[in-house]
């Protein structure tokens, strides 16, 4: 289409039925013989593989259009059916129409007033592009009359035996009789019955001619053995032809009516299964092997059908897939592409006088050396593969206007995607960075939107082929444009794992660096070099280099304990109260609440006020700094982190024993009948709830004790509200800062795993009245119903292990079911809402122009641009306003720019010197200047 | 500055906004008014705040062409994978089981007429009625009476003793009178009448009127047993559709029911009609209309998501709710609702029931105008959303 410079647009598609005449007119050949090929393997004339129907083999010529296989799109043939046959899909409609029309005169069973009324209703709907199904239903209901209002004839009951048998009273109507009845219906009656006479006549629903699809629709496969294997449709057509032939012969021979009828019915069966092999009431036609045939309806239907699998989604070229692995050294905007892939997938580039030298270089490198080229498209549209042998010739010919399909190189925009693509952040545009080895590399901050990890995940990459698409991808699909999620108006791309624990370890009070170390860190973080201080640097000072100079904010970090005896704010012993003044981190540490994905407050602020580029810059540089920082300090965790002293162990078992006793007591009270039921609950339920509560408390207490002892805090006096944990324990650091795991996980490792649950209650299945035969029947104690006293570290006993596995199994089953259910829900939601858009006047409308909302979300605010759903944080506005009015500083924002380029080798940013017509030109950032020698 | 009431602040903010010729949604004006009271904003400061809000408002306005539907669907659907499947959970009232998590969200989106666990929260009026000392929401007597009127109770609940005498072929029943009168506050004669409805042979003990003997109409052990079960299960009070009722007292008395019957509950005197609610959206639609149903969908979906600790912007949920209710009836998201009513044949065929839609389109002679997203994808044209929604328009003057 493109190549001719003509772009045609399809404006609309009209649906209708094909009349027998149309089918015949379309047909290039009448198929009569059920055989396909003769002994020599040549297609038989008037057979199902008649060469008039088109060819697949590129070496053959089509007898109809003269094109070769591949170019010929195929031509329809036809089969004249010996007797008419009902189309399965319309059995129901035919029945309804016959029931609504007079058996005698064929008029619709409505009086003229009603007809006019319904006609107007249908006209109205058609005019307004509305669905007429409901009106047609009404017509069918209204036309259930016993006496014809036109001729006065009494009506016999017409019934349908699905799918295609129609009976009038006790008499079984033949398809010919049905057709005759349908023929009598006038056009205007048909219109009211829902058959639009402009495109369809009722009798066309009974087939007399069957169109035969071209061979391109049903290609035969040649197996390795040389045997030919025909398509399911061809098989079915052979069946139809055979029966049709026999029927003709029998009729000509004047066979008894019974035999003719039997054959007729058989023909009906074959035509039925040819259209739909899953029609209810019909045994599916099977292949010799017993596999049901895939006929027309099956080709279209369902997930693997034509619509969902081939039309709504397509296989594409210029895509790549491989395993992903992490790389904190590349930007969030980048993706590391293996050289092997970069040499395979290409970018079509128009040759012009400015890039011709570059292109020549690529061609010279050929397809096997990295920045090379695979194909060249000449001005006449011919595509030439670049080989070492053809290189010279191509280089000679090359001139502006050619298209070179060059290898992927650094800076190219590609789309990157991980399934399941649940939201728009599952497919974002990245810049290519060609790297060694064979995996895609991505920055860890983009793991949350893709929901990726590196336990073997694979991702797809698509290379953009046109400039329009490239421009669009760069301006709206780039990773940095998606830092803020439209789901909740906060960052979804942000720090995870070591990035967070690193931030903490390196901004806390203890972190002081000599100036040499500090400058090394700054260098590693690709930051502008600050002035020397000739003094030690704190981690906070270093982190401040990342912040914009006019940033003012304060918030509570993730490590905040929410002290009951009042917040000490800046004097918090845990440094949980973060204060940033004019871009200086005054107090507090950096953790998940600073730049984590989902809750990062600083990141959120920067993304909203300084823009996506600044946010990207902040994330990239802070990754560098956190990684560099964490490498100076070192972080390691082992089982020793979950070590607790003997004393703690004793205290825990004390609590657990007490809980066990309490449970036994509860059971005793229950058995004695003294247990008081909770309102609205039975005694058994009450007991169950109380036991769960007691055991839950016991585990929590055990957890609380463990937390106190973590990291061997020997001095109990230190264990106060304001300093509960020893943050030299790296497991605790990770849990508290939000980097990974939770305190619950840690206490389960160290102290007690706790109650295992199935279906929200204690484990209650297995043998009769008991879960395992190790218990007495009807035993209600803690251990008998799945309470795990042990910790993961000490190890579970066999019974506990079994209970734990039961609980674990439930979790697995749950996730499996849930993904299927939520996937279907999302498909339905997307299907229902996909056509909605905001129009130029701010109304939310569907594709027909129907207004769904007069203003989006009642205030017209884009959630992605909002501040967690609000337009603006008034508190922030007011405090900022007051600060500004006090200091009288100019509110003008300094441009936020962190990076100093240490000579990064980005070919796009370094000038390229070129020779054109004997003169040297300097090409830099799109500008070309002449250079005087 | 003297204490300013919220309403005064609101009118002031409104006038400031109007003076500047701006248009703010109501909630913004309220927020600013609150801020004025909280921070003691001077008039000048108020003016700058309004300017700042306007600035932010303009900046965050949604762009024309934005595919809000898809974004909303994804924003509601994506967290589905993170939700729990556990159907039953204790919500608010620990005594009642309520469907939560993904199954509940699916239920809402499906617009089911019969939901798995209907419940009601009945609030009572705080106004003291004439001739009474206490307002209904403080009056224990009233609350208990109401609870028994609303909640289902059977004879089984008020039994003192129940015995099947096979020798005499009769059932001996003794009712707990104190339970009936003091606790359940029911009418004693009413219960007897109900029993007599089941079997005619009811004999009241001469000495103790809480003692009965019942006989089945046909003398057989089978009949006797059937009768025993029937008597126990006889409902002696309660509204249709409502089961258990739980009374809660915090600052005021509230009732929580298993099952729901909004129409009848709203008719009761002393019930606060403005606060009482049910989680059955279809019932709300039939009783209170489409706008109420729309709000109910939003509220239910928001609370389901919040309960799971997932944050989804309310605007997305609003769009889903508006789509479901835009035609005056609650339509489900799926092939029986919105999915099956699209104007495009191709869109319907690509969703579900491919064959049905194609066949029907052919006899109706439908025309697909290709205005939607999926149709254009199918035929390989740019979709009419986002960057694809822009077109070149000829100036009509140049004819």
Per-residue pLDDT tens for B127-173? 888 877 788 778 888 888 888 888 887 777 777 778 888 877 888 88
Residues of A in contact with B109 (CB under 8 A): 825, 828-829
CA distances A408 to A341, A342, A413, A866, Å, are: 8, 5, 9, 37
> Is A874 at the interface with chain B, CB within 8 A?
yes
Burial (CB < 10 A; 0-12, 13-18, 19+), residue A887, is exposed
Share of chain A above pLDDT 70, in %: 92
> Is B377 at the interface with chain A, CB within 8 A?
yes
Residue A849's H or E segment, with its range, is none
Best of A13, A693, A819, A840 to mutate (most B CBs within 10 Å, chain B): A13
pLDDT score of A904: 43
What torsion, rounded to 10 degrees, do the Cα atoms A547, A548, A552, A555 define? -30
**Tell me: the pLDDT tens digits for A332-362?**
999 999 999 999 999 999 999 999 999 999 9
> Is A135 at the interface with chain B, CB within 8 A?
no
d(CA A230, CA A217): 12
3-state secondary structure of B362: helix
Sheet with A851-853, side-by-side order of all strands: A837-838, A844-845, A851-853
> Is B42 at the interface with chain A, CB within 8 A?
no
d(CA A15, CA B358): 8
pLDDT confidence tier of residue A733, bands split at 50, 70 and 90: confident
Residues of B in contact with A489 (CB under 8 A): 313
State the smallest CA–CA distance between residue A642 and chain B in angstroms.
29
pLDDT confidence tier of residue A24, bands split at 50, 70 and 90: very high
CA distances A315 to A309, A310, A462, A610, B284, Å, are: 9, 8, 11, 40, 47
Sorted by sequence, the CB contacts under 8 Å of residue A120 that are 6+ apart come out as: none
Instruction: Tell me what the mean pLDDT of segment B313-319 comes to.
Output: 93
Sorted by sequence, the CB contacts under 8 Å of residue B299 that are 6+ apart come out as: none
Enumerate residues 380 to 399 of chain B having a beta carbon within 8 A of any beta carbon in chain A: 381, 384-387, 389
pLDDT score of A471: 93
Instruction: Tell me what the mean pLDDT of segment A579-589 comes to.
Output: 88
Of A305, A680, A856, the CB nearest to B244: A680
Are A155 and A874 within 8 A, CB to CB? Answer: no
Instruction: Tell me what the mean pLDDT of segment A510-516 comes to.
Output: 88
Are A550 and A544 within 8 A, CB to CB? Answer: no
Give A127 or A375, the one with higher predicted confidence: A375
Average pLDDT of chain A is: 85
Give A894 or A670, the one with higher predicted confidence: A670
pLDDT above 80: residue A481 = yes
**Tell me: the pLDDT tens digits for A26-47?**
999 888 888 878 777 778 888 8
pLDDT confidence tier of residue A712, bands split at 50, 70 and 90: low
Q: Do B86 and A760 touch (CB under 8 A)?
A: yes
Name the residue among A869, A35, A915 with its Cα closest to residue A485: A869
Give the tokens for residue B22.
Answer: 């701006």
Residue B245 forms beta bridges with which residues?
Answer: B257
Give B157 or A270, the one with higher predicted confidence: A270
Name the residue among A848, A56, A479 with its Cα closest to residue B369: A848
> Is B313 at the interface with chain A, CB within 8 A?
yes
Tally of helices (H runs) and strands (E runs) in chain A: 26, 33
**Max avg pLDDT among A116-120, A184-188, A619-623, A677-681:** A619-623
pLDDT score of A39: 79
Give the tokens for residue B91.
Answer: 């919500």
Burial (CB < 10 A; 0-12, 13-18, 19+), residue A486, is buried
d(CA A209, CA A207): 6
> Is B79 at the interface with chain A, CB within 8 A?
yes
Residues of A in contact with B333 (CB under 8 A): 828-829, 831-832
Enumerate residues 755 to 774 of chain A having a beta carbon within 8 A of any beta carbon in chain B: 759-760
Share of chain A above pLDDT 90, in %: 33
A927: left (phi over 0), alpha (psi -120 to 50) or beta: beta
Q: Do B315 and A817 touch (CB under 8 A)?
A: no
Give the tokens for residue A779.
Answer: 């035993």
pLDDT score of A759: 82
Q: Is ipTM strictly over 0.95?
A: no
What torsion, rounded to 10 degrees, do the Cα atoms A367, A371, A375, A377 define? -160
pLDDT confidence tier of residue A495, bands split at 50, 70 and 90: very high
Give A410 or A675, the one with higher predicted confidence: A410
Residues of A in contact with B244 (CB under 8 A): 680
Give A868 or A88, the one with higher predicted confidence: A88
Give B183 or A301, the one with higher predicted confidence: A301
State the smallest CA–CA distance between residue B224 and chain A in angstroms.
28
State the smallest CA–CA distance between residue B257 and chain A in angstroms.
10
Name the residue among B67, B312, B335, B73 with its Cα closest to residue A845: B67
Residues of A in contact with B41 (CB under 8 A): 878
pLDDT score of A424: 93
Buried b / exposed e over A817-856, threshold 16 CB at 10 Å, is: ebeebbeebbbbbbbbbbbbbbeeeebbbbbeeeebbebb
Buried b / exposed e over A788-810, threshold 16 CB at 10 Å, is: bbbbbeeebeebbebbbebbeeb
Give the tokens for residue A287.
Answer: 């292949």
Of B61, B347, B364, the CB nearest to A132: B364
pLDDT score of A889: 46
Average pLDDT of chain B is: 83
Residues of A in contact with B351 (CB under 8 A): 831
pLDDT confidence tier of residue B376, bands split at 50, 70 and 90: very high
> Is A369 at the interface with chain B, CB within 8 A?
no
d(CA B234, CA B162): 14
Considering only alpha carbons, which residue of chain A is nearest residue B350?
A: A307
| Contact pairs from chain A to chain B, CB under 8 Å | 338
pLDDT score of A209: 93
pLDDT above 50: residue A908 = no
Name the residue among A300, A315, A423 with its Cα closest to residue A830: A423
> Is A817 at the interface with chain B, CB within 8 A?
yes
Q: Do A837 and B67 touch (CB under 8 A)?
A: yes
Least reliable range by pLDDT among A119-133, A478-492, A843-857: A119-133
Instruction: Tell me what the mean pLDDT of segment A905-930 comes to.
Output: 56
pLDDT score of A890: 44
Residues of B in contact with A839 (CB under 8 A): 64-65
Handedness of CA B49, B51, B55, B58 (dihedral sign): positive
Least reliable range by pLDDT among A227-236, B1-10, B260-269: B1-10
Instruction: Tell me what the mean pLDDT of segment A628-646 comes to.
Output: 85
Residues of A in contact with B313 (CB under 8 A): 486-489, 857, 863, 866, 869
Q: Do A860 and B62 touch (CB under 8 A)?
A: yes
d(CA B227, CA B221): 10
Enumerate residues 477 to 516 of chain A having a beta carbon within 8 A of any beta carbon in chain B: 486-490
pLDDT above 80: residue A875 = no
Beta strands A77-86 and A206-212 are antiparallel
pLDDT above 90: residue A442 = yes
The answer, yes or no, to whether the previous bond of A420 is cis (omega within 30 of 0) is yes
CA distances A588 to A502, A508, A558, A567, A628, Å, are: 14, 7, 11, 13, 20
Instruction: Tell me what the mean pLDDT of segment A516-521 comes to.
Output: 90
**Tell me: the pLDDT tens digits for B200-238?**
777 777 777 777 777 777 778 888 888 888 877 777 778
d(CA A595, CA A502): 12
Q: Do A829 and B73 touch (CB under 8 A)?
A: yes
- Percent helix, percent strand, percent coil in chain A, to nearest 5: 40, 15, 45
Q: Do B365 and A850 touch (CB under 8 A)?
A: no
CA distances A209 to A67, A82, A672, Å, are: 27, 9, 84
Enumerate residues 638 to 697 of chain A having a beta carbon within 8 A of any beta carbon in chain B: 678-681, 689
d(CA A56, CA A665): 83
d(CA A428, CA A413): 10
Which position has the token pair 């929604």? B389
Are A341 and A350 within 8 A, CB to CB? Answer: no
d(CA B236, CA B155): 6
Residue A350 forms beta bridges with which residues?
Answer: A403
Are A782 and A695 within 8 A, CB to CB? Answer: yes
d(CA A80, CA A60): 28
Best of A847, A849, A865, A866 to mutate (most B CBs within 10 Å, chain B): A847
Are A198 and B365 within 8 A, CB to CB? Answer: yes
Are A221 and A241 within 8 A, CB to CB? Answer: no
d(CA A685, CA B140): 27
Which position has the token pair 């100093």? A900
CA distances B62 to A104, A840, A845, B17, Å, are: 63, 11, 14, 21
d(CA A454, CA A444): 10
State the smallest CA–CA distance between residue A173 and chain B in angstroms.
22
Best of B91, B320, B332, B355 to mutate (most A CBs within 10 Å, chain A): B355
First-to-final CA distance of chain A: 48
**Tell me: the pLDDT tens digits for A543-552?**
999 998 888 8
Are A102 and A151 within 8 A, CB to CB? Answer: yes
pLDDT score of A721: 38
d(CA B16, CA B12): 6
């Amino acid at each position: 289409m493109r190549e001719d410079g003509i772009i045609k647009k399809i404006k609309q598609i009209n649906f209708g039925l094909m009349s027998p005449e149309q089918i015949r007119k379309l047909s290039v050949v009448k198929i009569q013989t059920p055989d396909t090929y003769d002994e020599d393997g040549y297609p038989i004339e008037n057979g199902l593989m008649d060469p008039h129907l088109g060819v697949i083999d590129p070496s053959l010529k089509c007898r109809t259009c003269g094109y070769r296989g591949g170019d010929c799109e195929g031509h329809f043939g036809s089969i004249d059916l010996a007797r008419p046959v009902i189309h399965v899909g319309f059995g129901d409609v035919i029945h309804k129409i016959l029931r609504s029309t007079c058996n005698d005169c064929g008029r619709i069973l409505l009086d003229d007033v009603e007809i006019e009324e319904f006609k107007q209703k249908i006209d109205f709907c058609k005019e307004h592009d509305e669905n007429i199904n409901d009106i047609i239903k009404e017509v069918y209901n209204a036309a259930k009359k016993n006496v014809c209002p036109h001729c006065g004839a009494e009506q016999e009951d017409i019934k349908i035996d699905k799918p295609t048998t129609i009976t009038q009273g006790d008499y079984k109507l033949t398809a010919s009789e049905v057709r005759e009845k349908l023929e009598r219906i006038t056009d205007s009656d048909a219109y009211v019955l829902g058959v639009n006479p402009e495109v369809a006549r009722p009798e066309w629903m009974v087939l007399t001619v069957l169109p035969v699809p071209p061979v391109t629709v049903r290609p035969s496969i040649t197996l390795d053995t040389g045997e030919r294997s025909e398509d399911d449709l061809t098989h079915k057509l052979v069946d139809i032809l055979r029966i049709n032939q026999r029927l003709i012969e029998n009729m000509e021979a004047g066979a008894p009516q019974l035999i003719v009828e039997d054959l007729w019915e058989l023909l009906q069966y074959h035509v039925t299964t040819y259209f739909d092999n899953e029609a209810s009431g019909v045994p599916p036609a099977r292949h010799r092997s017993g596999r049901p045939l895939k006929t027309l309806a099956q080709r279209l239907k369902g997930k693997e059908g034509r619509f969902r699998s081939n039309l709504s989604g397509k296989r594409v070229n210029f895509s790549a897939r491989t395993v992903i692995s992490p790389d904190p050294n590349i930007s969030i905007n980048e993706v590391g592409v293996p050289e092997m892939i970069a040499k395979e997938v290409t970018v079509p580039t128009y040759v012009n006088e400015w890039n011709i030298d570059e292109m020549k270089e690529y061609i010279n490198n050929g397809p096997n050396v990295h920045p090379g080229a695979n194909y060249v498209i000449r001005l006449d549209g011919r595509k030439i593969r670049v080989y070492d042998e053809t290189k010279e010739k191509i280089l000679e010919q090359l001139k502006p206007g050619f298209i070179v399909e060059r290898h992927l190189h650094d800076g190219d925009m590609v789309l990157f995607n991980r399934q399941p693509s649940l939201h728009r952040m599952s497919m974002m545009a990245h810049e290519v960075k060609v790297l060694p080895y064979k995996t895609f590399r991505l920055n860890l901050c983009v793991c949350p939107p893709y929901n990726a990890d590196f336990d073997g995940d694979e991702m797809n990459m698509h290379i953009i082929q046109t400039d329009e698409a490239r421009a669009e991808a760069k301006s709206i699909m780039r990773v940095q444009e998606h830092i803020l999620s439209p789901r909740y108006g906060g960052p979804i791309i942000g720090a995870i794992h070591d990035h967070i624990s690193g931030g903490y370890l390196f901004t806390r009070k203890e972190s002081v660096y000599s100036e040499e170390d500090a400058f090394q860190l700054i260098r590693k973080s690709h930051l502008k070099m600050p002035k020397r201080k000739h003094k030690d640097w704190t981690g906070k000072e270093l982190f401040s280099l990342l912040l914009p100079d006019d940033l003012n904010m304060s918030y509570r970090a993730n490590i905040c304990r929410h002290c009951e005896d009042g917040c000490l704010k800046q004097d918090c012993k845990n440094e949980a109260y973060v204060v940033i003044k004019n871009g200086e981190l005054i107090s507090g540490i950096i953790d998940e609440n600073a730049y984590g994905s989902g809750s990062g407050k600083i990141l959120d602020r920067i993304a909203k006020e300084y823009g996506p580029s600044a946010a990207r810059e902040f994330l990239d540089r802070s990754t560098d700094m956190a990684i560099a920082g964490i490498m100076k300090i070192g972080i390691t965790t082992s089982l020793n982190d979950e070590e607790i002293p003997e004393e703690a162990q004793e205290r825990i078992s004390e609590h657990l024993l007490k809980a066990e006793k309490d449970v036994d007591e509860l059971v005793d009270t229950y058995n004695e009948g003294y247990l008081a039921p909770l309102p609205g609950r039975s005694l058994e339920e009450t007991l169950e709830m109380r036991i769960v509560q007691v055991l839950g408390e016991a585990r929590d207490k055990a957890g609380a004790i463990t937390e106190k002892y973590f990291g061997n805090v020997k001095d109990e006096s230190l264990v106060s509200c304001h300093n509960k944990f020893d943050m030299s324990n790296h497991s605790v650091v990770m849990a508290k800062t939000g980097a990974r795991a939770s305190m619950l996980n840690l206490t389960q490792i160290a102290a007690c795993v706790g109650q295992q649950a199935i279906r929200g209650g204690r484990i209650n299945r297995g043998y009769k009245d008991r879960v395992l035969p190790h218990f007495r029947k009807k035993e209600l104690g803690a251990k008998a119903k799945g309470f795990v006293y042990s910790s993961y570290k000490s190890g579970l006993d066999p019974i506990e292990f079994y209970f734990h596995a039961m609980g674990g199994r439930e979790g697995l089953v749950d996730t499996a079911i849930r993904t299927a259910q939520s996937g279907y829900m999302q498909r339905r939601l997307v299907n229902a809402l996909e056509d909605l858009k905001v129009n130029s006047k701010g109304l939310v409308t569907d594709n027909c122009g129907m207004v769904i909302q007069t203003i989006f979300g009642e205030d017209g605010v884009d959630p992605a641009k909002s501040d967690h759903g609000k337009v603006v944080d008034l508190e922030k506005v007011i405090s900022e306003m007051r600060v500004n009015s006090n200091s009288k500083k100019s509110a003008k924002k300094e441009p936020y720019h962190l990076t100093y380029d240490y000579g990064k080798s980005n070919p796009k940013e370094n000038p390229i010197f070129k020779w054109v017509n004997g003169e040297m030109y300097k090409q830099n950032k799109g500008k070309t200047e002449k250079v005087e020698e | 500055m003297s204490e300013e009431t919220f309403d005064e602040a609101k009118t002031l903010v409104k006038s400031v906004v109007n003076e500047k010729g701006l248009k703010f949604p109501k909630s913004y004006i309220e927020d600013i008014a609150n801020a004025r009271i909280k921070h003691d904003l001077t008039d000048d400061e108020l003016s700058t705040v309004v300017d700042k809000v306007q600035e932010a408002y303009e900046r965050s306005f949604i762009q024309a062409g934005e595919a809000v539907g898809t974004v909303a669907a994804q924003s509601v659907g994506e967290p589905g994978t993170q939700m729990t499947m556990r159907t039953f959970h204790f919500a608010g009232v620990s005594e009642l089981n309520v469907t939560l998590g993904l199954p509940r969200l699916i239920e809402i989106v499906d617009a089911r007429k019969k939901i798995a666990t209907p419940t009601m929260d009945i609030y009572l009026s705080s106004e003291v009625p004439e001739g009474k000392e206490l307002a209904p929401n403080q009056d224990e007597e009233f609350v208990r009476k109401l609870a028994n009127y609303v909640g289902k109770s059977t004879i089984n609940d008020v039994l003192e003793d129940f015995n099947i005498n096979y020798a005499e072929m009769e059932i001996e029943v003794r009712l707990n009178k104190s339970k009936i009168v003091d606790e359940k506050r029911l009418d004693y004669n009413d219960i007897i009448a109900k029993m007599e409805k089941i079997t005619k042979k009811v004999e009241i003990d001469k000495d103790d009127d809480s003692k009965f003997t019942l006989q089945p109409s046909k003398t057989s052990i089978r009949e006797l047993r059937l009768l025993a079960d029937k008597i126990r299960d006889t409902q002696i009070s309660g509204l249709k559709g409502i089961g258990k009722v739980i009374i809660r007292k915090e600052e005021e008395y509230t009732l929580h029911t298993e099952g729901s019957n909004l129409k009848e509950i709203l008719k009761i005197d002393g019930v606060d009609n403005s606060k009482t609610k049910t989680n059955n959206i279809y019932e709300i639609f039939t009783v209170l209309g489409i706008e109420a149903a729309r709000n109910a969908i939003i509220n239910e979906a928001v609370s389901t998501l919040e309960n799971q600790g997932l944050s989804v912007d309310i605007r997305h949920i609003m769009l889903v709710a508006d789509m479901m209710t835009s035609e005056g009836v609650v339509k489900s998201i799926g092939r029986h609702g919105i999915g099956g009513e699209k104007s495009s044949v191709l869109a319907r065929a690509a969703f579900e029931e491919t064959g049905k839609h194609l066949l029907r389109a052919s006899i109706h002679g439908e025309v697909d105008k290709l205005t939607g997203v999926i149709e254009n994808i199918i035929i390989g044209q740019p979709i009419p959303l986002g960057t694809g929604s822009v077109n070149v328009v000829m100036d009509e003057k140049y004819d």
